[in-house]
Structure formats: structure tokens, C-alpha cells
Amino acid sequence: MRIESVVAHEVAMPLVRPFRTSFGVETTRHVILLEVTTDEGVGWGECVSSENPLYSHEFNAAALLVLRDHIIPRVLGRELSPEDVPGLIGPVRGHPMARGALEMGILDAHLRHVGQSFASYFGSNKDIIDCGVSVGIPVDDDIDTLVNEVQSYVDAGYRRVKLKIQPGWDIEPTRVIREMLPGMPLQVDANQAYSRDSIDHLCALDEFDLLLIEQPIHEEDYLGHKLLAEKMRTPVCLDESVLSADNAESLIDYGACEIVNIKAGRVGGYMSAKKIHDMALGRGIPVWCGGMEETGVGRAANVAIASLPGFTLPGDTSASARFYSLDVTEPFVMEDGRLRVPDEPGLGRTPIPDVLTQLTVERTPLS
Ligand code: NPG
């Protein structure tokens, strides 16, 4: 196939409620969608960077620049297959979310052309997956707000709850939700908010029978996570620290984590995500699919990858309505706490032209 042009559509997606994590509060998510035109047809990719470099070093303005000046020129006009893309754009260091978005768009175009779904391409063995939900820290710091929000997700059918935590918002909120939902699969996510000094404090979470604690300490502090994993009964899961299959294997071998959160954008795309999955499956390490408040485009790819056999824990694969009252594609709607894995060619979701126009704040040709 040959890549003919790439256009970035920046959409502004108002959130149904503010999403607060240990690194900030978001009320509108700005997402870059890539429209990739090839001689086989059009494909769509989603870049999961944010407006500001707070979750990771990547941010939207930088993603556009690196795509336009460094990544896209490596594939534009070339005869290639989607499997060549990671190698062709791999020499560009860093910027995995930008690389992953382009790879997704190229793969979507190709799979649509050949009539194969994302899920089937990657080796899915399920047509439906369990849904988890990620619950932010209430902007009013009020435990009743958290209780009400969690209850609304339970009523909607979610099968696993993840609480965002940070120093000052950890043990008590987790206790309250565990008492409210004694049998619910429950986990917490700190987004690097703690340090090695907090190991004894974090061990107080052990009494709540959590599935895992996610990225408690800084992403570069492998020893801190190892020391925590040695002391804490709750399994330690890494998110931000995990960048590739080799680095994930190193982290596992070293003892820094017992579970891996796979976010395709963070690791440079779905092909890299699949490699991490295969490595983890071979070593008996559970993985689950993280979320980045994706629109229907990225959500479709997440739901597909989450249907692979190694994804044994429910992911942040929630319904579109968890974040957006208006999604840019046909929304993902939960049935009995589950989502159907798209089996249509490619992603199985594409932006609805009128809605895309309505939500777009900037359209930038990148080639
Ligand atoms: O369900 O899509 C979702 C969101 C899950 O909590 C979630 N994502 O730290 O993992 C995270 C967080 C996030 C979202 C981080 C957007 C960065 C951007």
C-alpha cells in the first residue's frame, strides 16, 4: 500500500464530568484524530496525548509537529505494508503516542481494504469483553460525591472499579468503597504520586483485597516499585513505566511489577502492545487494557486488543457515555457490563462526518 496524505483533526470533547487525577483536572479532552488516505482507502488513528505534558512528556502540539516533520515523511509515498511501519518510523526517538496514532490509521485503512477486523488481525479469542471504570478524585474532595459516582457506575453495570488516589486521598476513600462494595473487583491508581518513603503507608491498602495498585511511584523509580512489591501483598502494576516489550520484561524480571497495564499509545502502537501481550502471556503475567479517555476511534482499537487471551483482567474499556454524551463515532454501549468487540473490517468505527465537523476545533494537513 502507499500513504498519500495525512490530515489531523483536533476535536474538543466536553467530558460529562470533570476528571481529576493526581496530576490535574480535565473538563474538555482535546484529541487529535488522524485521517490517513492511502491507495487502499482511508483509515483513522487516534493520538492519545493530552493538551499538556502532565501524564507523560507527550502533548498535542508536540505530537503534531513530530508527526509532520519527522514521522510522516518516513512513510509518505512509499510502498509498504502496515507491519513495516514500526521499523520505518522507529528511528524517531520517543513520541510513542504520535507514532502509534499513525500506525493505527495505516492499519485501519489496510484492514478495511482486505476485510479483516482489528480483533481478528491481532488474534482475538472473544467477541465480548468485561468493562471496568476509572473513577477520578472528586473536585470537591467530598467522599459522598465519590460514593454517588461509584454507585452510578455500579447501577450501569460496570464489573470492576478503579479509584484514583493521591496522598491525602487514599486509605479512607478506598475503605469506604470497599465497605460499600464488598465483592466488587477493585483497584487503585496513583499516577506516580508517591515515593519510596510511602511504602509503609501504601501497605495499609492491603486490607482492602485490591486486584492491584497501579503506578504508585515515579515512572523511573524501578527500585522503589521493587521494594514496594516485596513488602505489599497487593500486586503492583505498572503503567507509565512500561514503554516496550523488552522494558516490560526487564521490569517483571527485576521484580518491579507483577501485572502490566497495556496502553497502546504509551508503547508506540498496537503492534508493540501485542508484543507486550505475547511476552506477558508466555510468562504467566496478567495484563489489562488501560484507557486514555478515547473517542470511539481509539476505543474500538482498545476493545479489540482487550479481547486477546492474555487480557485476563477487566480494562478501562468503558462505554463512550462514561466520558462523552456525544462521541465522534457510533458510541460504545454497554450491555450487562460488557462491550461487544467490533467484527467489521478495520476498527469497525469511523467518525460520523457531521459530528466530526461539529466537534473539530482545528484541521491541519500534515503532509
Ligand atoms: O477509562 O479511558 C479511561 C480513562 C482511564 O484513568 C484512566 N486514564 O492515568 O490511566 C490514567 C488515565 C489517563 C487518562 C491518563 C487520560 C492520561 C490521559
DSSP string, 259-328: EEEE-TGGGTSHHHHHHHHHHHHHHT--EEE------HHHHHHHHHHTTSTTB-S-BS---GGGT-SS-S
Residue of 137, 293, 327 best suited for mutating to test ligand 1, as the one with most atoms within 8 Å of CB: 293
CB neighbour burial string for 211-227, b if at least 16 within 10 angstroms, e if fewer = bbbbbbbbbebbebbbb
Is 126 considered catalytic here?
no
pLDDT in the model for residue 31: 98
Helix (H) or strand (E) holding 18: strand 3-21
* pLDDT tens, residue by residue, 304-335: 999 999 999 999 999 999 999 999 999 999 99
Q: Is 316 in the pocket of ligand 1 (CB under 6 A)?
A: yes
Dihedral, CA atoms, 364, 63, 291, 300, nearest 10 degrees? 40
**Catalytically annotated residue among 164, 226, 231, 274:** 164
How many other CB atoms are found less than 10 A from the CB of residue 357?
Answer: 12
State in Å: Cα 334 to ligand 1 middle.
19
Q: Is 306 in the pocket of ligand 1 (CB under 6 A)?
A: no
State in Å: Cα 136 to ligand 1 middle.
9
Closest residue by Cα to atom 6, ligand 1, is: 134
pTM of the entire structure?
A: 0.97
* pLDDT tens, residue by residue, 179-224: 999 999 999 999 999 999 999 999 999 999 999 999 999 999 999 9
Q: Is 295 in the pocket of ligand 1 (CB under 6 A)?
A: no
Q: Is 215 in the pocket of ligand 1 (CB under 6 A)?
A: no
Helix (H) or strand (E) holding 198: none
pLDDT in the model for residue 180: 98
The residue ranges of DSSP E strands in 178-231, in sequence order, are: 186-189, 213-214
* pLDDT tens, residue by residue, 265-306: 999 999 999 999 999 999 999 999 999 999 999 999 999 999
Do you know the residue count of the chain? 367
CA distance 360 to 129: 30
Are 132 and 160 in contact, with CB atoms under 8 Å apart?
A: yes
DSSP secondary structure letter of residue 244: S
pLDDT in the model for residue 292: 98
Residue-range domains of the chain with CATH: 3-115+350-365 (3.30.390.10), 119-340 (3.20.20.120)
Are 212 and 237 in contact, with CB atoms under 8 Å apart?
A: yes
348 Ramachandran zone, left/alpha/beta (phi>0; psi -120 to 50): left
291 Cα nearest atom in ligand 1:
2
| Strand, helix or coil for residue 67 | helix
pLDDT in the model for residue 61: 98
* pLDDT tens, residue by residue, 55-100: 999 999 999 999 999 999 999 999 999 999 999 999 999 999 999 9
* pLDDT tens, residue by residue, 131-155: 999 999 999 999 999 999 999 999 9
pLDDT in the model for residue 276: 98
pLDDT in the model for residue 244: 97
Residue 283 main-chain phi, psi, to 5 deg: -100, 5
pLDDT in the model for residue 80: 98
* pLDDT tens, residue by residue, 236-246: 999 999 999 99
Q: Is 318 in the pocket of ligand 1 (CB under 6 A)?
A: yes
Confidence of residue 160 (pLDDT cuts 50, 70, 90): very high
* pLDDT tens, residue by residue, 35-59: 999 999 999 999 999 999 999 999 9
State in Å: Cα 291 to ligand 1 middle.
5
- The separation between CA 110 and the C-alpha centre of its own chain, rounded to angstroms, equals 23
CA distance 280 to 297: 26
Q: Is 191 in the pocket of ligand 1 (CB under 6 A)?
A: yes
| Strand, helix or coil for residue 167 | coil
**Catalytically annotated residue among 162, 263, 274, 275:** 263
State in Å: Cα 78 to ligand 1 middle.
35
133 Cα nearest atom in ligand 1:
1
pLDDT in the model for residue 328: 98
Is the dihedral angle over the CA atoms 44, 47, 48, 50 positive or is it negative?
negative
State in Å: Cα 292 to ligand 1 middle.
4
Is 226 considered catalytic here?
no
